Amino acid sequence: MQENINQIKKTLKLNFEISGWDNILNPFLDSKEFDNITDKLSTLVEQDRRFTPKFKESFNPFIETKYQDLKVVIVNQDPYPQLGVSDGLAFSCSKTGKAEKALQFILKETIGDFTETGRVIYTPEECNLKRWANQGVLLINTALTCELNKTGSHYSIWKLFIEYLFKNINKENKDIIFVLMGRKAESWQLLLNEQKILKCPHPTSAAYNNNIWDADKIFKKVNKELNLQGKTCIVW
C-alpha cells in the first residue's frame, strides 16, 4: 500500500491508547490475522484494485468513540463504495457533506424531513456522524473497507477482525445496545449473548418499499433502553 503499514500501526496504537481501545485492539494489531489483512489489501493495490476508505481511516470508529463511553454499537454492512465518500464511520458522509441514500433515510428517521426545491436537504454537520460517535455510539461496518464500486467485496478480509472485536466487547461488557441493520449485521448476533440486541432492516431496503424505511422507531428504542439502564440518551 502507498501508506506505510508499520507507521500506521504505530499511530493506531497511540490513538487506541488515547481512546481506551488499546487493551482490546492493540493485541490484534500484532497478530498474524492483522498481517493477513494488510497483505491482502496490499495485493489488491498492486493489482490496481483500489478500495475505500483509506486504510488508516477505516479504524476511525475506535478513535472517535472512546471505549469508556461505549454504550451503543450500530452495525452496518460495509462502507460506501464510491471514491471519496466514506470517512470510516458507518453511514457518515463528513467528506462530502452530502447525505447518501442510506444516510438520508437515517436522518429522516432521527431529525425529520427538510425540503428545498423538492429535494431532501441535510446540512454538512448533520451528515457528519462524529457527533454520534463522540456520545458513545460505535459506528462499525462489518467490512472496514470495500473495493471501489463493489459492495460486499471485502467481507472475507475483515471477518476474523469483526469476530475478534465482537467477542471481546461481549466478554468485557454487558448490556451494550447493538443495533443490527440488515441481514449481514444480524448474522453476528450469536456472538453477542451478553448484550441488548435491537434489529431493523438496512436503510437501503427502503428502495424496495416505496422509499419507506421500516425502522420501527429504532432510535427511540435505543434511547428508551438507555434510559432504563440509567444512562444518558443519545442526541440523534
Active site residues: 78
Residue 89, pLDDT above cutoff 50: yes
* Residue ranges of E strands in the chain: 51-52, 72-76, 115-116, 119-120, 137-141, 146-147, 177-181, 196-200
Give the pLDDT mean for 179-206. 95
Task: Say how far apart CA 128 and CA 200 lie, in whole Å.
Answer: 22
pLDDT in tens, 2-51: 458 889 999 999 999 999 999 999 999 999 999 999 999 999 999 999 99
Q: Check: CB of residue 100 under 8 Å from CB of residue 225.
A: no
Q: What SS3 class is residue 51?
A: strand
Q: What is the per-residue pLDDT for 119?
A: 52
What's the pTM?
0.94
Other beta carbons within 10 Å of 183: 12
Handedness of CA 105, 218, 147, 28 (dihedral sign): positive
Task: Say how far apart CA 137 and CA 73 lie, in whole Å.
Answer: 6
Chain position carrying cell 431529525: 111
CATH number of 5-228: 3.40.470.10
Task: Please list, residue by residue across 207-235, b when 16 or more beta carbons sit within 10 angstroms of its beta carbon and e when fewer do.
Answer: eeeeeebebeebbebbbebbeeeeeeebe
Q: Indicate the DSSP class of residue 189.
A: G
pLDDT in tens, 41-79: 999 999 999 999 999 999 999 999 999 999 999 999 999
pLDDT in tens, 196-234: 999 999 999 887 778 889 998 999 999 999 999 999 999
Q: What is the per-residue pLDDT for 209?
A: 79
- Please report, for residues 1, 105, 143, 166, 194, the alpha-carbon distance to residue 221 in angstroms, rounded to integers and kept in the order given: 42, 17, 26, 22, 18
Highest mean pLDDT (candidates 105-109, 128-132, 214-218) = 128-132
